[in-house]
């Protein structure tokens, strides 16, 4: 990673911030984007404290012009772009029957189109470097999760997009990684959208029993270095993917039972 340039969307908290610090420690020059200026500067100060050459860009990946500007500013500052990590994302916590349709639109705009926009503008630079494009996806990209219909749809869309792109880019030697952390201790659930589009607030899950964002970030750095195709983390995540592929009927029942236990206030 020495002197490689990495652009990380959604680098203001959780996995994004931890990944920025992990790539910085590995020797990379790091550009981060985010919508929250205060949190963006918090991450920038942490990178500065590590002596990492960095750039903080206030941008919303769901806005095409912001995505284009983020790539342009990164290349202008560092002269190249080797690695793009599409990390920016939002989640939801609502049954589809109750959710406003705008919640689904917002999830698709950030999680899917944010990936499409940033990848589109970064692609010429990544191709020139024979670098890496990474999608921070979810187990919900392998297995639709109740109460997360829009989130699951956005991650399935990301999977299809990046899988097709990976195949297109084989002759150019570009590496494409789909990373699925599983349940991770981060703030994505705190800012998940409720049925009316408001932030849900306190997470209903026990964050202490989950993999930390820092652990995820270390796995990501290794996966990029090894140019891995897929990365599925946590035992629960790996088991869910396995069962959904080979025993889908059983997976339906197990996922439903888990949902009822974790979300007792939702009545199906």
Q: What is the C-alpha separation between 35 and 130, in angstroms, rounded?
A: 29
CA distances from 266 to 96, 98, 256 (A): 11, 10, 12
Number of Cβ atoms within 10 Å of the Cβ of 253: 10
pLDDT at res. 186: 57
- How far CA 50 is from CA of 25, 43, 266, in Å, comes to 7, 11, 44
CA distance 61 to 57: 11
pTM of the predicted model as reported, rounded to 2 decimal places? 0.94
Per-residue pLDDT at 209: 62
Catalytic site includes residue 142 = no
What pLDDT score was predicted for residue 208? 55
* pLDDT, position 190: 61
User: Which residue out of 112, 117, 151, 183 is catalytically annotated?
Assistant: 151
Structural domains in the chain, CATH included, are: 5-237 (3.40.50.720)
**Which SS3 state, helix, strand or coil, does residue 31 take?**
strand
d(CA 178, CA 192): 22
Helical spans, DSSP H, in 91-173:
101-107, 114-129, 149-168
Positions in the chain short of pLDDT 70? 185-190, 201-209
For residue 35, the number of C-alpha atoms closer than 13 Å in the C-beta half-sphere is 9
- Among residues 211, 109, 183, 204, which one has the least CA distance to residue 153? 109
Q: 177: closest CA among 85, 90, 62?
A: 85
Q: What pLDDT, on the 0 to 100 scale, is given for residue 160?
A: 98
Distances (CA, A) of 166 to 86, 133, 245: 14, 9, 21
Q: What are phi and psi of 94, to 5 degrees?
A: -170, 145
């Amino acid at each position: 990673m020495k002197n490689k340039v990495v652009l990380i969307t959604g680098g203001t908290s959780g996995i994004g911030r931890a990944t920025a610090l992990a790539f910085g420690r590995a020797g990379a020059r790091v550009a981060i984007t985010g919508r929250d200026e205060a949190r963006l500067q918090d991450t920038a100060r942490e990178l500065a404290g590590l002596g990492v050459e960095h750039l903080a860009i206030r941008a919303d990946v769901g806005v095409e012009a912001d995505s284009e500007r983020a790539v342009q500013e990164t290349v202008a500052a560092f002269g190249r772009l080797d690695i793009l990590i599409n990390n920016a994302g939002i989640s939801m916590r609502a049954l589809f029957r109750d959710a406003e349709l705008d919640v689904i639109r917002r999830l698709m705009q950030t999680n899917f189109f944010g990936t499409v926009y940033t990848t589109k503008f970064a692609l010429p630079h990544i191709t020139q470097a024979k670098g890496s494009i990474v999608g921070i996806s979810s187990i919900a990209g392998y297995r639709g999760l109740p109460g997360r219909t829009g989130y699951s749809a956005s991650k399935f869309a990301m999977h299809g997009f990046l899988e097709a792109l990976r195949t297109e880019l084989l002759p150019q030697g570009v590496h494409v990684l789909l990373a699925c952390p599983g349940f991770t201790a981060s703030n994505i659930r705190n800012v998940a959208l409720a049925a009316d589009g408001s932030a849900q607030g306190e997470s209903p899950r026990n964050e202490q029993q989950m993999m930390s964002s820092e652990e995820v970030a270390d796995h990501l750095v290794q996966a990029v270095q090894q140019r891995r195709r897929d990365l599925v983390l946590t035992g629960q995540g790996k088991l869910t993917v396995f069962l959904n592929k080979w025993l889908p009927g059983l997976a339906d029942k197990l996922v439903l039972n888990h949902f009822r236990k974790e979300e007792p206030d939702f009545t199906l």
